[in-house]
Amino acid sequence: MTGADGLSRFASFDGREIAYLDTGGAPGAPLALLLHGFASTHVDTWVEPGTVDALAATGRRVVAWDARGHGGSARPHEVEAYTGDAMVHDAAALLDHLGVTEPRSVDVVGYSMGSVVSTRWVPGDDRVRSLVLGGVGVHIADGSRDVIKGRLAKYLAADDPSTIRNGFLRDMRIEFEARGNDCKALAALDAAAQDDPTPEHLAGLGAVPVLVLTGADDSLVGSPHELAERIPGAHARTVPGDHPEAMKHPEFSAAVVDFVTTSPSEVPAP
């Protein structure tokens, strides 16, 4: 069912509601699934920068969710709502809800958090045909993010952001709220300290074509080329911009379209 906001919704594996945009493509058209980053929405990451339109112009049906805790989806304040690979299960449940059964039929494009979710989901789901890991680098694979996981939660959960002494964190919290985020939900998500991919996950990604696509000025994520080296057969590419801006550059959506339209449906065996 489509709501007044133009989004469809379904009850995910645990009954929590996930909202998603479903646009473009005739019946039976190839499907592209887009997964956004932390404190963002499908609109910020995919609609406004033009990626949805660019993929739809290739004849694809484009589905872009609001991850749990974000946008039009359920925004629970309980930490346990985000543990146990909840978003991984949401992604699989969304394809189930859409009736997708054909192997190697879905192109997946992630950005930042959405890419991390993809690295843990895609190796176990043979419906995925190709994968773009946007806005990530080797830091999701080298353990360096462990020290920062859960560190934002107390600032996001503060009742009054003016009580946050650190100016950077205070401004970040205010910005998140101004963009319509439920900061209590984001605090619970951060406190859940979602897992990064294991070496086994990265090895499993070798079953599909993978592009690591990161801003040339993104100093947060580590080398995209070093990440690609840990994924069999993967390639890395940079586009102009830093972490918040790279996916807005026209070269980003152009790179996504080029990759999904030229990638083979099957990866040759080594």
- In the chain, the amino acid numbered 227 is L
Give tens-digit pLDDT for 248-264. 999 999 999 999 999 98
According to the model, what pLDDT value does residue 26 have? 83
Give tens-digit pLDDT for 217-249. 999 999 999 999 999 999 999 999 999 999 999
Q: Which range is least confidently modeled, 37-41, 145-149, 183-187, 219-223?
A: 145-149
Does 184 lie in the same domain as 96?
no
Among the candidates 132, 161, 192, a domain finishes at: 192
Does 140 lie in the same domain as 99?
yes
Does 223 lie in the same domain as 154?
no
According to the model, what pLDDT value does residue 266 have? 60
Does 162 lie in the same domain as 47?
no
pTM of the model: 0.96
Give the other-Cβ count within 10 Å of 22's Cβ.
16
Does 132 lie in the same domain as 158?
no
Q: What percent of the chain has pLDDT over 70?
A: 97
Alpha-carbon span 236 to 85, nearest angstrom: 26
Range of the domain at 156: 150-192
Number of domains in the chain: 2
Does 177 lie in the same domain as 80?
no
Q: In this structure, is residue 3 part of a structural domain?
A: no
CATH of the domain at 113: 3.40.50.1820
Does 257 lie in the same domain as 157?
no
Q: In the structure, what pLDDT confidence band is assigned to residue 85 with cuts at 50, 70 and 90?
A: very high
Does 215 lie in the same domain as 179?
no
Does 238 lie in the same domain as 130?
yes
According to the model, what pLDDT value does residue 5 have? 84
Give tens-digit pLDDT for 22-79. 999 888 899 999 999 999 999 999 999 999 999 999 999 999 999 999 999 999 999 9
